[in-house]
Chain A
Amino acid sequence: MSVIDPVRYEILRHRLWVIGEEGRAALQRVSASPIVVQGGECMQSFYDASGRMVLACSGHLRFAAATSDAIKLLIREFGSSPGFHEGDQIFNNDPYVAGSHTYDQMVVMPIFAERRLIGWTASSSHTADTGGLLRGTATEIYHEGLRVRALKVVERGQFRDDVCKTIVEQCRDPYYVELDLRSRVAANNVSGARVLRLVEQFGLEFVEAAMRKMIEDSERLARAKLRELPDGTWRSRTYATAMRSARPFQVRCTMTKARDEVSFDFAGTSPQQDDDQNSTLPSTLAHVALALTNMLFWDVPWSDGKMAPVRVSVPEGTFLNCRFPAACGGAPRVGQILVSAVTECVAKMLYAAGRLEEVNAGWQGLWYQGGPGYFYGGTNANGLPVAQGLYDIHGGGFGATPLRDGVDTGGHANIPAGGISDVERIELSYPFLYFARNHNPDGAGYGRHRGGAGSHRLYMVYGSSDLTVDFRPYGGIPNGGFGLFGGYPCGTGGMRAILATDPVALARRLAEGRYPTSGREAVEGGWATVHVPEAGRPRVALPERWLVSDFVQSGGGFGDPLEREPETVARDVASGFFTRDAAERFFGVRLDRDGAADLAATDALRDETRARRRRDARASADAPATLPPGDPLATPHHSLEIVRASAGARWRCRRCGADLGDAAASYKRGALRAIRPLGQVSDAPLPAGDFIGELHEYYCPGCVALLQVDVFCPTLGDDAMLHDIALAMVARAPQPA
């Protein structure tokens, strides 16, 4: 460990952080992009001379993670020609180098003191336009517009108008792209000058020693944290569906934690896609870092030291390590599916460590994907172009925890301090009139603790004659969510559809003082009919006075929903989180006419539900073997513990004592299993197409408590009974490879 004056070190590291904040403020003031200024999608970060990250400031987490790779590549490829000089600033937006898609753009600047390179600073932000094809249609990265590996936009202190114009003229909206570009230059100017002042104040030697210590400190904290957690292997699988067909693909994640290191292996992940649903290796690494920052290393200052004990292996040619020139515009969405997979493994590890307050079920659960998106085209009532994105997804529901329900409309994993816009603000600039934006009934994952609800919305096209939206085929499989220990990955509610209306009839009914407040109401009340455009149309028109219904992601549940207090379920129904139907089917709770829980009827219904679980799982009539009570060796599952028995370490039900078999194997082998096709789980058909795949529910053979709900897609041909929890303490000697 570097030994330096601890007081000056503290002053310096805080100052470096605030310098980054100053840079970010400069960027946000110059940028015109709402997603940057209000959504906070930007980042200022610092690197040592070799490109190792010293500190990332608050802001959009995804951006900081991969920039050190970009700097290392610049040094390797262009270090001798053209070389880097004092006052240079280099533009990059190549997702095969750093960032997630071409919209993630950065300007990096070498910092020189005493006539040598002492470090780098980088300013990154999201730009809404890169030229190229409109969102949803790219099949190779060449379609995704501007892609620059390295161009000096400032050279030896001179802003190069020729380079700037060359870049921005590739885009549809050069004025705004230029403002964004200039804002990054401004941020670097501010940060670079302040770093030099720091060197003046503290001396170069001290600054360099402090930068080394900052990286070392993070590594020490990360390793210390890992040492406190149990060793073992955890596995997860999450799904997503494609852009141009309803075809699903999967992330397979195997996390192995040993001593003070952790590794992630994505073997078994689907091949790369022929649309833009791909992630380059830098994007994948950035999202792994993001997931770990949110869930595990949240109290570790962010430098490259944080990721030193982390190994990531991603087979090339999978959609998480796509081969050039695969398109990757959808990388942030793919990244969410990946974050979910990583987070599930981490959550189960944290549970095994007893750190219950840090455990969260999934944040990204969508019952299905497909239908209209949120990337608009066209003009509004003032004749101005409609801003491309509308980000209600920044207000998704968060996962349930062992101690409480998930946070409703909590936010977005990438942007911890982000938020969504007021409906009134949206109506000021978009050609929409909203009829509803509320919590999405039945959207949240069912469980003893329910997931946080996302929102749904229903709006009417209002004041545009040329509006279009991206549209994708309906892919009927839960995307990206996970429940924990019997909780569902997400709820079954929500409608995403374009709804055709008869404008005259609609106007008449509006004038009577009525309107629908959900997609379902609009269809069932005869206001509109579901419009499914002909196949293969990536963008579709939204005629004036038609309706659009959609919903955002929600949180996964925790624990068996039959364990939720009936009164709590009654309150959920009264508050609009669940329908009566879901209360009965998933929670086994009957309400009386006034909406209060009918306790006797609930008991009966819950008994009936347990009996049905047995029938569906074809349980034998015999009582299962039980294990005697005793202190557990470990409790890696809410309902199960590992105990030492005469036959070795065994899985044991914490409620009924049932024996679920050898602890070296999956508890699922000793559990009952019922397979439920997704179409039967849902109470509503998809707007078009069919549900794909199944829910696999695992129950305790004794008390039939729900232990785990897996989403499974048989057509992808993976191991159905995923061995999700394998503690090292009970593992058998590994087989020779």
Chain B
Amino acid sequence: MTTGHRVPLGGAGARPRDEHELRAPIIIGIDVGGTFTDVALLDAAGHVRMAKAATTPADPTNGVLAALESGASGLGIDLVELLRRTRRITHGSTIATNALLTRTGPVLGLVTTRGFEDTPAIMRAIGRVDGLSEEEVRHPASLTKPVPLVARTRTEGVFERIDVRGTVVVPLRDGDVVRALERLIETEGVGALAVCLLNAWANPVHEERIAALVDERYGARVYVSYGHRLARVAGEYARTNTALVDAFVGPRVQRYLRGLEDELRRRGFVGDVLAMQGNGGVASAGQCSPVATLQSGPAGGMLAAAHIAKTLGHDRVLTADMGGTSFDVGLCIEGGWSYADEPVFDRFRVQQPIIEVDSIGAGGGTIARYEEATARLVVGPRSAGADPGPACYGAGGDEPTVTDANVVLGVIDPRYFLGGARALDATLAHRAVERVARPLGLDATRGADGIRRIIEGKMADLIRRQVIRSGHLPETFVLYAFGGASGMHAAAFARELGIPRVYVFPTSAVFSAFGIALADVRHTRLRTVEHVLPVPPRLLNAPLDELGAELLEIMDREGFARTDARLRRYASLRYLRQTQAVELELPEAPLDAEAIATLSRLFAQRYHALYGTGAGDPDALVEVSALRVDAVGPVPKPALAAAELDGEAPPEPKAWRSVHLDGRPSQTPIYEWSGLRAGQRVGGPAVVESAFTTVVVPAGMSALVDRFGNLAIDAKGSAS
């Protein structure tokens, strides 16, 4: 798919763009993960090339350059030539996440409203369990809160109070602010500062006054994050965290992005360098707040899914990303996604529009054990993680994991794990599984089969719960499976969930990088409001216009003319006194009384669709609780290259081996993915392998290779 108009991105008129685009047809997506830095290269014909390099935590730029070099050599050119041919590099990273996880950042100070200095430490009490799994919260006597990002002794309260309508009840005094700044910046020497005052979302006048005093006295000497600039949303705990996290990761993220851009420019790159954000869009480094880059990896996965869903015509997609230690589930409905309400990072909830992807904690590293008192085979929730990892890694782990079970069953070829990059020890896997199986009277194979069935049952349950919580039913979805471990289990849990079709992708190993390459420019603004319907239209139009104007100004700085940037506007509605709201898209034109009446009606319909008839009350009052405006600047991207169908000949197995599936061993054909041609059908039981992943096609199912090289597994028509 190619967008109709050419978009001057990143400084209109600075360069002869069209010419440049012709000369530089490649777009690159980079995803700097914890272990690997992935690169996806898209050329004008829609071919995708992948490359990987080890992430270099000390300076991730090195890993990025190495991955780009590897990508260049795949094309038979050098890095400088690749950069010369590249129009755009979009970059997602875990820099911010890692800085937070490892608590590597500047000493922070906080200026807040006097009397509320403990907000970051009180954490609404819920901070004790935020970011922990259900299993972890079961023993309340052993749980503690994380250490707040700012010390109480570096928090300064200033007298000021603004009410929820924005009225100043207690004015801010400059002298108080100056004293607070002096103490934090000069006496305490803080490295970065957060400013978050109560109800600044309703009226930012006091935070803006503090900003003026900071600028006047300290200029750019100190990095400062202001709560209202990051989120105009009620809820001081998460907003304060947002400002604190931004201040904590900000200097590092900015330094890194600037450094990377410098390195690329030194090698002659003249195109755009863009940062991937958790909202599913990109922004130029200058317009992107560091806290917005959190969760850019999972956002990339969602974008890739959305792009493929559009190409394949799927309007309800469930994404399942299963790696070694995690299992993330997301929903992509009609090409869109929802944003989490106060998403949690590490242990801190923040207010940012972040694509909702839920981690349900199961993976290849999930551990099985025998519980003696009850004679149970318990699988999970503990994980062996990456270190020591599964027993078959031979790195000291002696507890059996799901990966070990797959080795025992012959699903994983121990000599072809990650394309042979990591040799696995099948004997260790056997021994570990046997230890938990024997007390139950099972041999290693039956024990491994049990572990596999139990984890697949649990995954099906947890996916179902996520989907149901969002108000949907799993059987109406297509499943997209990506991440190293999904392909081995997806067909089985799809069958349990009643999902008819599963897709596994050749780009699966760099799925996020692929999605990041495709991202449009996107900025999002949220605003808390409080209006009972019917509301005079101007009370909604005014804030919507204000948000829209703010966004268009940003898009202008991104190089988008007003006509090229698209605004999408949403309102959250709920019955009065309810706590959960339903978001509806608003028409493009300003709202009038009729549009507002329509809104009321649409809300009732949507509410009933979500919660069932009889749940709502036609006489109850409805209120608007929040507004959101997205500005989207589409960037050109190629249509994915499609091969001609060539499926007449049956596919040729590269080998046969004994694989234990569905309760019995059988000689099973093994296919090399890259050897399969579009239109060919693989009948189960079968295993399809690539250097990055393994896909199981169970007996009674079959997988079709589509024109894009994807495996489409038909999970219907077989009994469980």
| A, B bound | yes
B124 sits at the interface (CB 8 A): yes
The residue from B122, B134, B575 contacting A409, defined by CB atoms under 8 A apart: B122
**B contact residues, total (Cβ < 8 Å):** 86
Residues of the B chain whose Cβ atoms lie less than 8 Å from the Cβ of A436? 114-116
The residue from B159, B199, B376, B620 contacting A515, defined by CB atoms under 8 A apart: B159
Binds B, one of A418-426, A477-485, A605-613: A418-426
With known contacts A6-B375, A423-B236, A15–B468 Cβ distance under 8 A: no
Whether A14 contacts B199 by the Cβ 8 Å rule is no
With known contacts A298-B138, A433-B169, A517-B114, A439–B377 Cβ distance under 8 A: no
Report the Cα distance A191→B12, complex, angstroms.
Answer: 58
The residue from A7, A22, A425, A439 contacting B122, defined by CB atoms under 8 A apart: A439
Whether B117 contacts A221 by the Cβ 8 Å rule is no
Report the Cα distance A455→B171, complex, angstroms.
Answer: 26
Residues of the B chain whose Cβ atoms lie less than 8 Å from the Cβ of A6? 375-377, 440, 442, 450
**Which residues in chain B, 605-627, are within 8 Å of chain A measured between CB atoms?**
610-612, 614-615, 617, 620
Whether B139 contacts A299 by the Cβ 8 Å rule is yes
Report the Cα distance A514→B113, complex, angstroms.
Answer: 11
Residues of the B chain whose Cβ atoms lie less than 8 Å from the Cβ of A429? 577
Residues of the A chain whose Cβ atoms lie less than 8 Å from the Cβ of B579? 34, 37-38
A524 sits at the interface (CB 8 A): no
Report the Cα distance A58→B138, complex, angstroms.
Answer: 9
Whether B161 contacts A515 by the Cβ 8 Å rule is yes
Whether B164 contacts A427 by the Cβ 8 Å rule is yes
The residue from B140, B173, B461, B530 contacting A298, defined by CB atoms under 8 A apart: B140
CB-nearest residue of chain B to A29: B611
CB-nearest residue of chain A to B349: A419
Report the Cα distance A170→B121, complex, angstroms.
Answer: 43
Whether B171 contacts A435 by the Cβ 8 Å rule is no
Rounded to whole Å, the gap between the CB of B446 and the closest CB of chain A is 9
Residues of the B chain whose Cβ atoms lie less than 8 Å from the Cβ of A433? 161, 163, 169
CB-nearest residue of chain A to B118: A438
With known contacts A6-B376, A15-B457, A424-B198, A517–B115 Cβ distance under 8 A: yes
Whether A425 contacts B577 by the Cβ 8 Å rule is no
Whether B234 contacts A408 by the Cβ 8 Å rule is no
What does the 1/0 interface line of B105-125 toward A look like (CB < 8 Å)? 000000000111111011111
Whether A298 contacts B457 by the Cβ 8 Å rule is no
Whether A417 contacts B129 by the Cβ 8 Å rule is yes
Report the Cα distance A404→B147, complex, angstroms.
Answer: 14
Whether A32 contacts B124 by the Cβ 8 Å rule is no
CB-nearest residue of chain A to B144: A407
A394 sits at the interface (CB 8 A): yes
Report the Cα distance A582→B180, complex, angstroms.
Answer: 27
Report the Cα distance A30→B471, complex, angstroms.
Answer: 11
CB-nearest residue of chain B to A411: B125
With known contacts A22-B464, A220-B373, A416-B140, A408–B471 Cβ distance under 8 A: no
Report the Cα distance A216→B373, complex, angstroms.
Answer: 10
Whether A7 contacts B377 by the Cβ 8 Å rule is yes
Whether B465 contacts A424 by the Cβ 8 Å rule is no
With known contacts A455-B118, A513-B172, A224–B373 Cβ distance under 8 A: yes
A358 sits at the interface (CB 8 A): yes
What does the 1/0 interface line of B358-380 toward A look like (CB < 8 Å)? 00000000000000011111110
**Which residues in chain B, 176-231, are within 8 Å of chain A measured between CB atoms?**
176, 198-199, 201
What does the 1/0 interface line of A7-29 toward B look like (CB < 8 Å)? 10111001101100110011001
**Which residues in chain B, 437-469, are within 8 Å of chain A measured between CB atoms?**
440, 442, 449-450, 453-454, 457-458, 461-462, 464-465, 468-469
**Which residues in chain B, 449-506, are within 8 Å of chain A measured between CB atoms?**
449-450, 453-454, 457-458, 461-462, 464-465, 468-469, 471
Whether B450 contacts A7 by the Cβ 8 Å rule is yes
What does the 1/0 interface line of B121-153 toward A look like (CB < 8 Å)? 111111111000010011111111100000111
Report the Cα distance A18→B461, complex, angstroms.
Answer: 6
A458 sits at the interface (CB 8 A): yes
Whether B128 contacts A410 by the Cβ 8 Å rule is yes
Whether B235 contacts A186 by the Cβ 8 Å rule is no
Report the Cα distance A295→B454, complex, angstroms.
Answer: 29
Residues of the B chain whose Cβ atoms lie less than 8 Å from the Cβ of A209? none
Report the Cα distance A427→B161, complex, angstroms.
Answer: 12
Report the Cα distance A439→B157, complex, angstroms.
Answer: 14
CB-nearest residue of chain B to A15: B461
Residues of the B chain whose Cβ atoms lie less than 8 Å from the Cβ of A571? 153
Whether B374 contacts A29 by the Cβ 8 Å rule is no
What does the 1/0 interface line of A428-442 toward B look like (CB < 8 Å)? 110001111111000
**Which residues in chain A, 214-232, are within 8 Å of chain B measured between CB atoms?**
216-217, 220-221, 224
Residues of the B chain whose Cβ atoms lie less than 8 Å from the Cβ of A15? 457, 461
Rounded to whole Å, the gap between the CB of A396 and the closest CB of chain B is 8
Whether B615 contacts A422 by the Cβ 8 Å rule is no
**Which residues in chain B, 405-433, are within 8 Å of chain A measured between CB atoms?**
none
Rounded to whole Å, the gap between the CB of B254 and the closest CB of chain A is 29
Report the Cα distance A721→B147, complex, angstroms.
Answer: 40
**Which residues in chain A, 174-230, are within 8 Å of chain B measured between CB atoms?**
175-176, 179, 182-183, 186, 201, 213, 216-217, 220-221, 224
CB-nearest residue of chain B to A514: B159
A733 sits at the interface (CB 8 A): no
A294 sits at the interface (CB 8 A): yes
Residues of the B chain whose Cβ atoms lie less than 8 Å from the Cβ of A1? 374-375
Whether A358 contacts B126 by the Cβ 8 Å rule is no
Rounded to whole Å, the gap between the CB of A33 and the closest CB of chain B is 9
Report the Cα distance A384→B623, complex, angstroms.
Answer: 13
CB-nearest residue of chain B to A37: B579
A649 sits at the interface (CB 8 A): no
B102 sits at the interface (CB 8 A): no
Residues of the B chain whose Cβ atoms lie less than 8 Å from the Cβ of A175? 617, 620
A313 sits at the interface (CB 8 A): no
Whether A411 contacts B580 by the Cβ 8 Å rule is no
Whether B164 contacts A439 by the Cβ 8 Å rule is no
The residue from A10, A37, A58, A419 contacting B376, defined by CB atoms under 8 A apart: A10
The residue from A10, A384, A455 contacting B457, defined by CB atoms under 8 A apart: A10
Residues of the B chain whose Cβ atoms lie less than 8 Å from the Cβ of A458? 115
Residues of the A chain whose Cβ atoms lie less than 8 Å from the Cβ of B160? 513
What does the 1/0 interface line of A293-308 toward B look like (CB < 8 Å)? 0110011000000000
Report the Cα distance A515→B462, complex, angstroms.
Answer: 50
Rounded to whole Å, the gap between the CB of B457 and the closest CB of chain A is 4
With known contacts A224-B373, A515-B115, A422–B141 Cβ distance under 8 A: no
B720 sits at the interface (CB 8 A): yes
CB-nearest residue of chain A to B132: A417
Residues of the B chain whose Cβ atoms lie less than 8 Å from the Cβ of A439? 118, 121-122
A575 sits at the interface (CB 8 A): yes
A446 sits at the interface (CB 8 A): no
Residues of the A chain whose Cβ atoms lie less than 8 Å from the Cβ of B617? 175, 179
Rounded to whole Å, the gap between the CB of B306 and the closest CB of chain A is 25
Whether B171 contacts A511 by the Cβ 8 Å rule is yes
B237 sits at the interface (CB 8 A): yes
Whether A25 contacts B468 by the Cβ 8 Å rule is yes
Report the Cα distance A108→B457, complex, angstroms.
Answer: 28
A110 sits at the interface (CB 8 A): no
CB-nearest residue of chain B to A574: B153
With known contacts A409-B122, A424-B199, A299–B458 Cβ distance under 8 A: no
B44 sits at the interface (CB 8 A): no
A-B contact pairs, 17 of them (CB 8 A): A7-B453, A25-B469, A29-B580, A32-B578, A221-B374, A294-B140, A360-B141, A384-B577, A395-B125, A401-B141, A408-B122, A411-B126, A411-B128, A418-B126, A436-B115, A514-B159, A576-B152
Given A221-B374, A511-B171, 8 more contacts at CB 8 Å?
A18-B461, A217-B376, A411-B140, A424-B164, A427-B164, A437-B116, A439-B122, A513-B176
Chain A positions near chain B (C-beta within 8 angstroms) = 1, 6-7, 9-11, 14-15, 17-18, 21-22, 25-26, 29-30, 32, 34, 37-38, 58, 175-176, 179, 182-183, 186, 201, 213, 216-217, 220-221, 224, 294-295, 298-299, 357-360, 382, 384, 387, 394-395, 398, 401, 404, 407-413, 416-425, 427-429, 433-439, 455, 458, 462, 510-511, 513-515, 517, 571, 574-576
